[in-house]
Structure 1
Amino acid sequence: MTLDTEEKSYSADITVDVYNDSEDPWQSIYFQDYPSQFRDIENGRISEISSASNVLTGSALELSREADPTVFSFKLDEPLPPGYTASISFHYKAFVPVLNARFGYQSVGEGAATV
């Protein structure tokens, strides 16, 4: 994980293994993007997601954002059957707003902040 104190953001290359425990094949995998719930009201920046791929096949995955900015999904290159696991990798970057609820930063002195 990388913390950028100038831009007030953090980023990481993430790999997630997702197991289909349902009885139905999955066409897409959905994620909750909690930091986007607390986006900065002034600039409205939500998390940036890029370079998504299926780790096993190397195929690029299509990103979709829902009307709710805290939900995003990847359309799988082929359906994930029940009882199987998909491995997805992507680059994630979130912006840390000024503290306005349960998530953010506040300055506590010259050159110091709490997150």
Structure 2
Amino acid sequence: MTSTVLVLTALEDVTADLVISALNEREVPVVRADPADLGAGLSFGARIGAGAPAWGGRLVTGSREVELGEVAAVYYRRPTRWAARYGTCHRSSGTSPSPRPGTGSAASCTP
């Protein structure tokens, strides 16, 4: 089994670049992704259940893909906020239905 490191960060993160470089020197497989790319630039599917000893599924970026069972570690550092790339989200209070009962607020996002 391969021990891949999944790096979740923004494209412009120079500190993560140094970490990835060090991992490459050690011949450690690395997949870098920015969660804000979810959609055209990033997709994944995961499953776990009875009879499955570990996560299964795939994570696919524009240039790489990895089986989730191959991911041995995740380095999470300063990913791009989804709203920073695709719009803004606003929280409102009032009588509108809430996505979570009892919270009294709802969120809406606009590009």
Calculate the TM-score normalised by the size of structure 2.
Answer: 0.24
More RCO (CA 8 Å, sep 6+) = 1
The structure number with the bigger radius of gyration is: 2
Which structure is higher in helix share?
2
Calculate the TM-score normalised by the size of structure 1.
Answer: 0.23
